Amino acid sequence: MNYFIYDIDGTLYDFDKGERNSEGKTKSYDESDFKKDLFQNVRSFFISKLNYSEEAVDALFRKMDAEGDKKFSVFVQKNHGVSRGDYFNYVWDLDPSKYVSPNENLNRIFDTTKNNLIISNAPRIWASRVLEVLGIEEYFSSGNLFTGELEICKPKPEIFEMAVEYFKTEPTKCYSIGDQEDTDLLPANKLKMKTIMVRNKSKDHTPTHEIDSINELLERLF
């Protein structure tokens, strides 16, 4: 028996409703309006709620980027005493129907892979709305939706160890499926899980499979 750990954004759906970039490929996270809108909200949170200047926000973005730190929610909690929940509710208040198209194939995929778990660094307010737009919320209603509120998040291998514990299995029987190698696949690979790279090319490890879209998953696996 195999176990399947899915990322959400850029993995279960193509960014910006599958819009193409100049090369005719689906957009990456960095190319997406989704990321642009999300970071506009981050910027506006720091300016309107925490009285940062535009320049101070730019400096902070550069610093977080250089340190590879993606946890703004932890930063605001530690440095400004803002609860992560308040931060999430403000920044992630986006309408997923602007970025996400329903995909009927997903039902067949989750019915087939059966042992399904999501690990997302996005908060629950966003993850649950996306699952609803995708029409797959019933597959992830039994504790098998790990979201950004957890203290431990990707790329820490511990979050993948929690997945192994959830499934009561061994890492070698798990597949991690995602569009970002550094967060979704490398820590899983470190634990000897199998990995499936979606859309992007891997640079730092050899994934078990590379696919252009989640729609190719079943034909590749079975």
Q: Tell whether residue 7 is a contact of Mg ion (CB under 5 A).
A: yes
- Residue 150 neighbours by CB under 8 Å, 6+ apart: 159
- Least distance CB 106 / Mg ion (angstroms): 15
Return the range that interacts with Mg ion (CB under 5 A); candidates 16-24, 72-80, 95-103, 173-181.
Answer: 173-181
Q: Tell whether residue 14 is a contact of Mg ion (CB under 5 A).
A: no
Q: Tell whether residue 179 is a contact of Mg ion (CB under 5 A).
A: yes
Is residue 6 within 8 Å of 175, Cβ to Cβ?
A: no
- Least distance CB 101 / Mg ion (angstroms): 16
Return the range that interacts with Mg ion (CB under 5 A); candidates 4-12, 86-94, 95-103, 169-177.
Answer: 4-12
- Least distance CB 86 / Mg ion (angstroms): 24
Is residue 39 within 8 Å of 72, Cβ to Cβ?
A: no
| Tokens 């320049």 -> residue | 55
Is residue 6 within 8 Å of 147, Cβ to Cβ?
A: no
Name the closest residue to Mg ion (Cβ). Answer: 10
One of 4, 9, 72, 127 touching Mg ion (CB under 5 A): 9
Residue 144: phi, psi to the nearest 5? -100, 30
- Least distance CB 9 / Mg ion (angstroms): 4
Whichever of 76 and 118 has its CB closer to Mg ion, that residue is 118
- Residue 54 neighbours by CB under 8 Å, 6+ apart: 43, 47
- Least distance CB 130 / Mg ion (angstroms): 11
Whichever of 179 and 181 has its CB closer to Mg ion, that residue is 179
Q: Tell whether residue 16 is a contact of Mg ion (CB under 5 A).
A: no
Q: Tell whether residue 10 is a contact of Mg ion (CB under 5 A).
A: yes
Nearest to 4 by CA among 202, 190, 169, 211: 169
- Least distance CB 8 / Mg ion (angstroms): 7
Is residue 182 within 8 Å of 155, Cβ to Cβ?
A: yes
Q: How many residues sit in the footprint of Mg ion (CB under 5 A)?
A: 4
- Residue 191 neighbours by CB under 8 Å, 6+ apart: 157, 160, 161, 164, 171
Residues forming contacts to Mg ion in the complex (CB under 5 A) are 7, 9-10, 179
